[in-house]
Amino acid sequence: MTKVTVRLSKDSYDINIGTGILKQTGTLLKEAGFTGKTVIITNPSLKKLYADNLAEKLSGEGFKVAILEVPEGEEYKSLETAGRLYQQLTDFFAERLTPIIALGGGVIGDLAGFVAATYLRGVPLIQVPTTLLSQVDSSIGGKVAVNHGQMKNKIGAFYQPRMVISDIATLQSLTAEDFADGLAEAIKHGFIRDKEYFAYIEDNLDRIKYLDVEALEKVVTGSARIKGTVVAEDERDFGLRNILNYGHTIGHAIESVSEFDLVHGQAVAIGMLVAARISNRMGFLETHEVDRMKAVIEKAGLPTKMPELEIKALLDSMKHDKKITSGRIKFVLLKSIGEVFVTDEVDLSLVEQVIREGN
Ligand SMILES: NC(=O)c1ccc[n+]([C@@H]2O[C@H](COP(=O)([O-])OP(=O)(O)OC[C@H]3O[C@@H](n4cnc5c(N)ncnc54)[C@H](O)[C@@H]3O)[C@@H](O)[C@H]2O)c1
């Protein structure tokens, strides 16, 4: 098992990464000082796949376990679901030191994290991410949230987990689309911070795609190190964390204008290439680097071509995106692979031109 520590000013925590480590959850909980009750929040399919076994194992180790099920889907990441979970926690007599285990992808992680942050003003949160996206991204960094009406992820908190347990074996049951979605974020980590990590993904993409556990462990560990370091430097998202939005300004616009025809990772993949071309046109990233980036995105099973969308709508959507300061769009760009910077000096006519030219 590999441990990556997220070093915060207070309450640092470990990301435990390994294959088949779900069964060590009880030991890890006990090592952290937890005994007695624990609650697993998950969805019905993950209950059958993983949570029932985990609950049985934990019961055998002396824990009193409740599994709380949330129906599958982003629409259940809501205040209404949180309300139902608070009631179920009360019925189980969950206490201040009863850890909540969030077992699932980013939807479960965000929702269960929000409930853990608010129930009794905060109970311990254990993130057990089961999608590639949640292992490389959403389980790290303490952003927990629910959606409310049109407000996506706007009702939430910064609430760091006590530990993360990333079992690589759980990735075997993901659909190819969900897997590629997470891979987009892992590739992004290489683009923005680490050219050797990017080169590893580039050289091992076949092994990664065919779910070779050793290669996957390297990817989850590499991304956990990168995201963990960025979060440690900017826990409350006042500055550096912005670099994690590479490809996201354009990606969010594509998602919204296409009315979510493309899933997040697909939109971000296209957004990352548009941002690469903008970087290149502004005299930074070299053309051969853009070509390398495109080749990896393509081989990862992600789209590279901008879909047919109205350019004005895309630009309007970018202007409405949250990353606007005093009327200028903040762009995350690359100087080279592994070297990122943030600027509000990008001419919107250049963005339009690059989108028109296509990737
Ligand atoms: N908190 C953060 O920092 C952060 C960062 C990025 C995204 N997010 C949030 O994460 C969510 C998206 O997360 P996601 O991509 O993991 O999607 P998800 O949680 O919806 O999971 C995708 C699908 O995979 C299924 N699944 C999960 N694990 C599985 C497994 N091991 N085997 C088979 N199926 C499995 C789920 O049931 C679901 O149907 C969004 O709500 C987004 O807002 C949060």
- Pairing between strand 339-343 and 100-104? unpaired
Percentage of the chain beyond pLDDT 70 is 98
Any atom of ligand 1 within 6 Å of the Cβ of 174: yes
Q: Which residue has its alpha carbon closest to ligand 1 atom 18?
A: 105
Between 70-74, 168-172, 306-310, the lowest mean confidence (pLDDT) is in 306-310
Q: Is the CB of 172 under 6 A from ligand 1?
A: no
pLDDT, position 327? 61
Q: Residue 18: how many CA atoms within 13 Å on its side-chain side?
A: 12
Q: Indicate the top mutation candidate among 133, 158, 165, 216 to test ligand 1's pocket, ranked by most ligand atoms within 8 A of CB.
A: 133
pLDDT at 324 over 70: no
Q: Using one digit for the tens of pLDDT, what is the confidence trace for 5-27?
A: 999 999 999 999 999 999 999 99
Q: Write down the pLDDT at residue 127.
A: 98
Does the pLDDT at position 359 exceed 80? no
Q: Is the CB of 255 under 6 A from ligand 1?
A: no
Write the Ramachandran bin of 227: left for phi over 0, alpha for psi from -120 to 50, otherwise beta: alpha
| Mean local confidence (pLDDT), 86-104 | 98
Confidence class for position 321, pLDDT limits 50, 70, 90: low
**Confidence at 108, pLDDT banded by 50, 70, 90:** very high
pTM of the predicted protein model = 0.97
87 φ, ψ to 5°? -65, -45
Lowest mean pLDDT among 5-9, 138-142, 194-198, 323-327: 323-327
Q: What is the pLDDT of residue 358?
A: 80
pLDDT at 333: 98
Q: Compute, in degrees rounded to 10, the torsion defined by CA atoms 37, 53, 168, 207.
A: -170
Q: What are phi and psi of 232, to 5 degrees?
A: -65, -30
- Output the pLDDT for position 330: 85
Condensed to tens digits (0 to 9), the pLDDT of residues 175-209 reads: 999 999 999 999 999 999 999 999 999 999 999 99
Determine the pLDDT at residue 322. 54
Tens-digit pLDDT profile for residues 149-170 = 989 999 999 999 999 999 999 9
Confidence of residue 325 (pLDDT cuts 50, 70, 90): low
| Residue 301 token pair | 């099973």
The whole-number pLDDT of residue 348 equals 87
CA atoms within 13 A on the CB side of 228: 22
**Amino acid identity at 93:** F
Report how far ligand 1's centroid is from the alpha carbon of 352 (Å). 32
Contact yes or no for 215/204 (Cβ under 8 A):
yes
Ligand 1 centroid, distance to 143 Cα (angstroms)? 14
Any ligand 1 atom below 6 A from CB of 178: yes
Res. 320: pLDDT tops 90: no
Pocket lining: 106 vs ligand 1, CB cutoff 6 Å: yes
Structure confidence by residue, pLDDT tens digits, 39-64: 999 999 999 999 999 999 999 999 99
**Gap from CA of 133 to ligand 1 centroid (Å):** 7
Q: For position 259, what pLDDT does the model report?
A: 87
Q: Are strands 13-18 and 328-329 parallel, antiparallel or unpaired?
A: unpaired
